[in-house]
């Protein structure tokens, strides 16, 4: 079994930066794919960035390219999301997700993931 716990959310003004982190525990060797998703009330959960755990390569949704950086630390079993130049539209509950498979063309789809953390809130004010 795999457990995920996020931290690092908070409130920031537009243009500011935040870093959210995710600690992975349990059967970490089985994980090939991890991602960050976000969700606001009334909307579907959307993929922000996904990471192939073997080499750390990342894929981003278009709206965050150039502003967000996803990375992993396989020694500490952690996933990070560095968020810069934040905008009010970046607000939401941010979730860490993990799965035992890797599908590059579907890694930003929530249905691809079996394991989820409880989330951490990010609020960006204008």
Question: Torsions phi, psi of 12, nearest 5?
Answer: -150, 155
Which residues 6+ apart lie within 8 Å of 77 measured at CB?
Answer: 23, 24, 25, 28
Torsion of CA 66, 112, 9, 30, to 10 degrees: -100
3-state secondary structure of 112: helix
Token pair belonging to 123: 């609020």
Q: Would you write out the chain's pLDDT as a tens digit for each of its 126 residues?
A: 999 999 999 999 999 999 999 999 999 899 999 999 999 999 999 999 999 999 999 999 999 999 999 999 989 899 999 999 999 999 999 999 999 998 889 999 999 999 999 999 999 999
């Amino acid at each position: 079994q795999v457990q995920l716990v996020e931290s690092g959310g908070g409130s920031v003004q537009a243009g500011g930066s935040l870093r959210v982190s995710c600690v992975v525990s349990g059967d970490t060797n089985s994980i090939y794919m991890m991602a960050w998703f976000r969700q606001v009330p009334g909307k579907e959960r959307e993929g922000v960035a996904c990471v192939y755990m073997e080499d750390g390569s990342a894929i981003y949704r278009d709206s965050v390219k150039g502003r967000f950086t996803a990375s992993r630390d396989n020694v500490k079993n952690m996933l990070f999301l560095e968020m810069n130049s934040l905008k009010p539209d970046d607000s939401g509950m941010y979730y860490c997700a993990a799965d035992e498979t890797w599908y590059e063309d579907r890694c930003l789809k929530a249905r691809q993931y079996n394991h989820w953390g409880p989330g951490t809130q990010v609020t960006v004010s204008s």
